[in-house]
């Protein structure tokens, strides 16, 4: 019986594969070409801003003033990149984007540790342990996940001020963790709830301890979801502007705030090559992650969007 099943399945698989091959061998017909041409044109439209920003950042200002936005640079120069990183002015300080870059990194690390630990433990407790009010709490989290920051902004400022972290790196990280908690908890909970009941029962019989099960059984199973959440949270925190500008102090603002100040409050003549280099520098970290582990990125944003 099992033997038969296997052969049948194998035969089915071969048929499917053959069909696929037939379909592929059919080659390019008119419709396929039209679709591919359309998709390629859309892809070009999506790439144009990146191309323009990149080439502009490599030009000199004289060349930019000629108004040939699509032309390649005549003289390639990294001068604008160097200036954006080291010397560009943001507000009254002129130390370049590197200040904001390191602030962003320093915000990122504690906010990742805080938010992921909290969301993981909460998700685990809600999914696998009997808590009477779990349903109500999950619904509440679901509501909180969509609350815009503006609605709780002033209370959060007042609370962080009382805690003494307003305007510090830690303050920004804490607010990030608070804002991310509902969505991340829901993601973890949805992942953990599919763990078979038997595993949990056996584990409870075996040791019974909440934390021991978490460390010995649940953590080793969480590799994939951890990467997804990590990437989701890294891009969220890195790309955030509002939390950084509201809760960051004078010299603890993240890179995006630094960039926005640099671009809008530029004194004298605008230097577009520096602006574009600064924009690219800010965009590079999330883009590198995206091009390296895009699959997890997509999983993260769709999970965050639908479950959140």
Partner 1 sequence: MTIRWTRIAPQIALTPAVAVTAVAFVGSILWTIYLSFTRSRRVPDYAIDWTEWSRQYDRLFQDAGWSTALWNLVTLGLGSALAIVFGFILAAMIDREKRGEALFRTVFLYPLAVSLIVTGVAWRWILNPTMGLEATLHRWGWEWVDFNWLAQGDTAMYAIILASIWQSSGFYMALMIAGLKSINSEIWSAARLDGVSLPRLYIEIIIPMMKFTFLTCAILLSLGVIKAYDIVLAMTNGGPGQSTWVPAYFVINALSQKQNLGYASAAAVMMLGITLLVFLPLVMLTAWQNGRREAR
Footprint of partner 1 on 45-64 (CB under 8 A): 45-50, 52-53, 56, 64
* Residue 135 in the binding site for partner 1 (CB under 8 A): no
| Residue (6 or 39) nearer to partner 1, CB | 39
Instruction: Residue 174: name the closest of 183, 162, 165 by CA.
Output: 165
Q: Which residues, 244 to 273, sit near partner 1 by CB under 8 A?
A: 256, 259-260, 263-264, 272
Q: What residues contact residue 258 under an 8 Å CB cut-off, 6+ apart?
A: 90, 97, 99, 100, 103
- Interface pick for partner 1 out of 7, 14, 32, 224 (rule CB under 8 A): 32
Q: Rounded to 5 degrees, what angle do the CA atoms 18, 23, 29 make?
A: 160
Determine the interface stretch with partner 1 among 2-10, 85-93, 164-172, 279-287 (rule: CB under 8 A). 279-287
Instruction: Residue 216: name the closest of 124, 112, 109 by CA.
Output: 124
| Residue (225 or 237) nearer to partner 1, CB | 237
Q: Nearest distance from residue 31's CB to partner 1, in Å?
A: 8
**Phi-psi group of 67: left, alpha or beta (phi > 0 → left; psi -120 to 50 → alpha; rest → beta):** left
- Interface pick for partner 1 out of 185, 222, 252, 271 (rule CB under 8 A): 185
| Residue (250 or 291) nearer to partner 1, CB | 291
Question: What is the C-alpha separation between 51 and 65, in angstroms, rounded?
Answer: 18
Q: Nearest distance from residue 109's CB to partner 1, in Å?
A: 19
- Interface pick for partner 1 out of 156, 172, 173, 183 (rule CB under 8 A): 156
| Residue (6 or 52) nearer to partner 1, CB | 52
Determine the interface stretch with partner 1 among 7-15, 76-84, 94-102, 293-301 (rule: CB under 8 A). 293-301
Q: Count of residues for the chain?
A: 308
State how far the alpha carbon of 184 is from the alpha carbons of 37, 189, 194, in Å. 40, 8, 16
Question: What is the C-alpha separation between 178 and 174, in angstroms, rounded?
Answer: 6
**How many chain residues touch partner 1 (CB under 8 A)?**
91
Question: What is the C-alpha separation between 236 and 303, in angstroms, rounded?
Answer: 14
Q: Which residues, 76 to 115, sit near partner 1 by CB under 8 A?
A: none
């Amino acid at each position: 019986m099992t033997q038969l099943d296997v052969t049948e399945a194998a035969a089915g698989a071969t048929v499917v594969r053959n069909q696929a091959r037939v379909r592929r061998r059919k080659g390019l017909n008119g419709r396929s070409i039209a679709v591919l041409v359309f998709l390629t044109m859309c892809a070009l439209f999506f790439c144009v801003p990146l191309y323009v920003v990149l080439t502009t950042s490599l030009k000199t200002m004289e060349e930019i003033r000629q108004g040939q936005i699509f032309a390649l640079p005549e003289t390639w120069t990294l001068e604008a990149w160097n200036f954006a990183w080291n010397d560009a002015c943001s507000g009254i300080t002129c130390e370049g984007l590197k200040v904001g870059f390191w602030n962003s990194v320093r915000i990122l690390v504690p906010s990742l540790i805080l938010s992921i630990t909290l969301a993981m433990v909460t998700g685990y407790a809600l999914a696998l342990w009997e808590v009477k009010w779990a349903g109500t709490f999950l619904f509440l989290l679901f509501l909180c996940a969509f609350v815009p920051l503006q609605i709780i902004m002033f209370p959060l400022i007042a609370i962080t001020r009382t805690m003494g972290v307003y305007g510090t790196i830690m303050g920004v990280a804490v607010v990030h963790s608070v804002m991310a908690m509902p969505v991340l908890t829901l993601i973890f909970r949805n992942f953990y709830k599919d763990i078979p009941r038997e595993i949990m029962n056996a584990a409870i019989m075996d040791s019974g301890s909440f934390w021991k099960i978490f460390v010995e059984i649940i953590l080793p199973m969480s590799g994939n979801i951890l990467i997804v959440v990590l990437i989701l949270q890294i891009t969220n925190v890195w790309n955030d502007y509002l939390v950084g500008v509201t809760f960051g102090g004078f010299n603890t603002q993240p890179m995006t705030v630094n960039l926005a100040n640099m671009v809008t409050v530029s004194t004298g003549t605008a230097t577009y090559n520096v602006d574009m280099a600064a924009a690219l520098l800010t965009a590079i970290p999330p883009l590198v992650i995206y091009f390296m582990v895009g699959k997890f990125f997509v999983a993260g944003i769709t999970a965050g969007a639908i479950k959140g």
